[in-house]
Amino acid sequence: MAHDGEDQREFPRTTQPRFADIDVSTPTTARIYDWMLHGKDNFEADRQAGRAFLEVAPQLRPIAHDNRAWLARVVTCMSTEMGIDQFLDIGSGLPTAENTHQIAQRANPDARVVYVDNDPVVLAHGRAILADNANTTVTTADILDPKAVTDSPDTRRLIDFSRPVGVLLIALTHCLKDEPDPGGLIGQVVDALPSGSYVAYSHIVSTDAEAAEQLTGTVLQATHGRWGRVRRPEEAVAYIERHGLEPVSPGFVDIRTWRTDDPDVPEEPIWEIGGLARKP
């Protein structure tokens, strides 16, 4: 939680929600995800929702851990192979082990990272964790307003949009409803990026219509309608591919197989696809 003596230049309080404003009775995807990862920054409502999700789709907990491992690989790839040294992590969720800034700054200590999430708990805990890291900050904004994300004072303070940026849209788009168009929102973010930028993207998917409908209904009920839906793989990929981005090998695939040293292809159905693409 924030303290009165924190650096006002790092986290201007006048534009951010207060911890007292947090609704602990309504689950949020950020806090449910934290619970899936065995984190501690969640409330009973989030834990109840998480348990309900696992009753419908017990594979969601392994998927959460697979997603975190993929985050580490894709940030390392952008840092070491593409030379990206500034990152905008949209829908970042709560801080946990192996955060984006830790991975990026391991490759380049001067790397800059801005975390963006619409959950005020993320802001509160991010303030405390990142208070001593001048190259990393957290801001509260929503992908539903892409301009607020890219034009946030905290974003502009650390991200130089005249140079390539690494944008993370990881496990975010399935949280969005069909209207407004998730692909259009992504496009507005892409439009703000200079040539040579990269976008890392993943989405929960299913080729089983019944399973997708069941999981979608469970999450919508638990979050009081604050979610999107599980989509077909081709739907999810279309949201990112339509913007003229150049996919990086191996393209948009099962996140468990993306640039991994593990030669064994999982036998279980694909539940999350992801990949990396470059803006030409």
What number of other Cβ atoms are within 10 A of residue 221's Cβ? 12
Give the tens place of pLDDT for each residue, 11-37.
333 333 344 456 778 888 778 888 888
pLDDT given for residue 129 in this prediction: 75
Q: How many CB atoms lie within 10 A of CB 15?
A: 12
pTM: 0.84
Domain boundaries, the chain: 13-278
pLDDT of residue 98: 80
209 in Cβ contact with 231 (< 8 Å): no
Q: Answer with the residue of higher pLDDT: 250 or 270.
A: 250
Residue 169 scores a pLDDT above 80: yes
Mean pLDDT, range 145-174, rounded to an integer: 96
C-alpha triplet 17, 21, 23: angle, nearest 5°: 125
Q: Is the separation of the CB atoms in 32 and 238 below 8 Å?
A: no
**Alpha carbon 45 to chain centroid distance?**
21
Which CATH code is given to the segment(s) 13-278?
3.40.50.150
> pLDDT value at position 57?
77
Q: Does 250 sit behind a cis peptide bond, omega within 30 degrees of 0 on the bond before it? A: yes
Max Cα separation, the chain?
Answer: 52
Lowest-confidence range among 40-54, 158-172, 239-253? 40-54
Tokens 């439009």: give the residue.
191
